[in-house]
Amino acid sequence: MTSPGSPTPTVSWLKEELVEDVLWIKPDTKGYKIASSGRQHSLILMDVGSEYTGAYTCIATNRAGQSICTAHLGVDDESKMHYLGEVGSEEFLMKLTSQITEMVSAKMTQVHKNDNFNPFDDETKTPSPSPHHGRSRPPSLIADSSSESDEGDARGEMFDIYVATADYNPTLANKEAIALKVGQYVEVLDSAHPLKWLVRTKPTKTTPSRHGWVSPAYLDKKLKLSADTSDLPDANAEEVSEGGEYKRKLLQLIQDLMNGESQFVKEMDFFASHHLKHAEGPDAPPDVSSQKDAIFRNIDDIKSFHSKAFLPKLNDCDTDDDVAMCFLKNKEGFEKYLHYLVGQSLAESAVSDKAVHRFFKEYTNKVQASADPADPPVRSINASLQQPLERIQKYKAALKELIRNKAKNGQNCCLLEEAYAMVSALPQRSENTHHVTMIENYPATLEVLGEPMRQGPFQVWEGAPGIRTSSRGHHRHVFLFKNYCVICKPKRDSNTDTQAYVFKNMMKLNNVDVNETVEGDERSFEIWHEREDSVRKYTLQARTVSIKNSWLRDFRELQQRYSTPAWSPPDFDEILANCTAELRQTVKLACRVTGVPKPAVTWYKGTPCLLWSHALSDR
């Protein structure tokens, strides 16, 4: 559900229990989960039974007024499976939590065959024509996805090839997403979003190429189209019943995940009680003592999180949705990985020092000599430091397998998709944060900028309006934050082989105007920065049209916040949809509500006409 309004409405959910009574659904109400992200709101019904049948109502309220919408849920006891995409919630799933939708930087894996791009040659000429000049207003919001396209083929752009590991079936409500069949190959055009990737399908004799958004949880990387497909699931395999192969594999996957977690906790305990403790001892040389914090970082916090919080909750899981909720409810704990991942390169550099390496190698050999020969060999310091990173990859693989197993059985995988997005975003977020730490000469503290939503190289022209721009562009690295756009000059120290970014300019997004088209150059767009006494124009040329469109999409979404009216009553942009579910399945009722101030959302089950006066009397 999407709920607009000014001031921003508050949202409540209710369900009719009896003719004379209602259930006001709160975050701690058993069997339900309430989630909100900006204007989008969702009510998740866990393991539905016949008692969940009824009318559910969402109330959005702010000081300007009140708005409601209602949908009916029917629980079908028949054995025939229904596709729960009819719930109409996939659009919400793409943006469920504000933490997940903190868009992280696209990995610039796309390469132009004929592009001699050197990000450290500041004055390299570009073969592209100079952008035309003259300010023009941005066009209306362009639908840059889910359309037929042969873009990029003429220029020979190369993209990573992925294959769908299960059928992906978004709902009609999510107009920018496209459906995929198991075994179908796609090119990934933009992988910045943890919940959705922009992909392009390969054309066939009967269907043209399409591009749109897909959950990355359904994709595995392939190096080439002719790769061996023997490991792909059988697209023609018959669906299995919930009590058959699906459940057998589910139990095995959950057990493997629990066993792996127990082993990981044991190894982290050993690492902290041996290597870390030894580095803190009186025999540690100065080279080790001075770099101990850089080497081990917050490994104690990660160990404690897994042993005291995550493992006990994981051991209580019986279903795949239980596993997904175990991850999502421990999101704060997984945030500890960001600090660890950001410092990984510095830790690797520290342990490569000869004195440090020799100190830990001698200790490892000493421990190994006194260890039980039946035990696994003692890990080196390098291997131990890699374990948290490897654990993240194992979580991703396990969640993908759970999704593949559940999707093959025709069930809704929304919670697993969210869990996968949360885990898979950690390396991307840490990489982007690491790039921010490399900015030099910034006039304030970098922490106030927050996490970048995107970062990457551009060819940039800068000048005053009306003045002809030179044909010589400058190589720049651009960061897009929630409130700022920062432009830096790349710099590499050839002596130390280190990279940095020299701060050049910062623009507040509420002071910029974006022109999405530049005549004669489909890869470029313009940013007009209005300051107190002047206006500067920046023309940014991306490596590919896809990269340009992805940046423009994020610019539009961020700038829409500044165009919201100062005061508006709640309004449902996306209303609840009726649905029918099978017993024991998970259902999500979703809506989008806007309003300023933010509306309060209340959920209830029942007929709103019976409850309207009751709802008003409580306020």
pLDDT tens for 391-401 read: 999 999 999 99
Q: Is the dihedral of CA 510, 513, 517, 521 positive or negative?
A: negative
Q: In 3-state terms, what secondary structure has residue 288?
A: helix
Q: Is the dihedral of CA 608, 614, 618, 619 positive or negative?
A: positive
- Residue 578 above 70 pLDDT? yes
- Residue 89 above 60 pLDDT? no
d(CA 24, CA 162): 45
- Residue 604 above 70 pLDDT? yes
Pairing of strands 579-582, 197-201: unpaired
pLDDT category of residue 66 using cuts at 50, 70 and 90 = confident
- Residue 367 above 70 pLDDT? yes
pLDDT category of residue 564 using cuts at 50, 70 and 90 = low
Rg over alpha carbons for the chain, rounded to the nearest Å, is 27
Q: In 3-state terms, what secondary structure has residue 550?
A: helix
Number of neighbours of residue 377 by Cβ within 10 angstroms: 10
456 vs 86, which has greater pLDDT? 456
Q: For the segment 303-361, what is each residue's pLDDT rounded down to a tens digit?
A: 999 999 999 999 999 999 999 999 999 999 999 999 999 999 899 999 998 999 999 99
Q: Give exposure, 73-99, as e/b (b: 16+ Cβ within 10 Å).
A: bebeeeeeebebbbbbbbbbbbbbbee
Are 381 and 271 spatial neighbours (Cβ–Cβ below 8 Å)?
Answer: no
Three-state secondary structure string covering 339-357: HHHHCHHHHHHHHCCHHHH
Residue corresponding to tokens 């192969």 = 245
Q: What DSSP character marks residue 518?
A: B
pLDDT category of residue 520 using cuts at 50, 70 and 90 = confident
- Residue 145 above 80 pLDDT? no
Q: Look at residues 89, 291, 81, 95 and name the one whose alpha carbon lies nearest to residue 173.
A: 89
Q: For the segment 239-284, what is each residue's pLDDT rounded down to a tens digit?
A: 444 558 888 999 999 999 999 999 999 999 999 999 999 898 888 8
Amino acid identity, position 354: K
Q: What DSSP character marks residue 444?
A: S
Where does CATH 1.20.900.10 sit in the chain? 245-409
Q: Is the dihedral of CA 119, 122, 128, 133 positive or negative?
A: positive
Q: Look at residues 584, 597, 576, 444 and name the one whose alpha carbon lies nearest to residue 59.
A: 576
d(CA 20, CA 14): 13
- Residue 579 above 50 pLDDT? yes
Query: Is the pTM for the entire model greater than 0.75?
Result: no
Number of neighbours of residue 565 by Cβ within 10 angstroms: 11
According to the model, what pLDDT value does residue 525 have? Answer: 93
Q: Extract the tokens encoding 148.
A: 């037929």
Specify the CATH number for 437-563; select among 1.10.10.60, 2.30.29.30, 1.10.20.60, 3.20.20.80.
2.30.29.30
**Mean pLDDT in the chain?**
78
pLDDT category of residue 196 using cuts at 50, 70 and 90 = confident
Are 480 and 555 spatial neighbours (Cβ–Cβ below 8 Å)?
Answer: yes
Where does CATH 2.30.29.30 sit in the chain? 437-563
223 vs 281, which has greater pLDDT? 281
Where does CATH 2.60.40 sit in the chain? 5-88+577-617
Count CA atoms within 13 Å of residue 399 on its CB side: 31
Quick one: fold of 5-88+577-617?
A: Immunoglobulin-like (2.60.40)
Q: Which CATH architecture has domain 245-409?
A: Up-down Bundle (1.20)
Q: Give exposure, 270-299, as e/b (b: 16+ Cβ within 10 Å).
A: ebbebbbebbeeeebeeebeebeeebbbbb
According to the model, what pLDDT value does residue 243 have? Answer: 52
d(CA 62, CA 7): 6
Say what percent of the chain tops pLDDT 70: 76
- Residue 227 above 80 pLDDT? no
d(CA 552, CA 328): 30
Which residues, 6+ apart, have CB-to-CB distance to 166 below 8 Å? 182, 218, 233, 403, 404, 407, 408
Q: For the segment 395-424, what is each residue's pLDDT rounded down to a tens digit?
A: 999 999 999 999 988 888 889 999 999 999
pLDDT category of residue 233 using cuts at 50, 70 and 90 = very low
Q: Look at residues 444, 617, 601, 588 and name the one whose alpha carbon lies nearest to residue 96.
A: 588
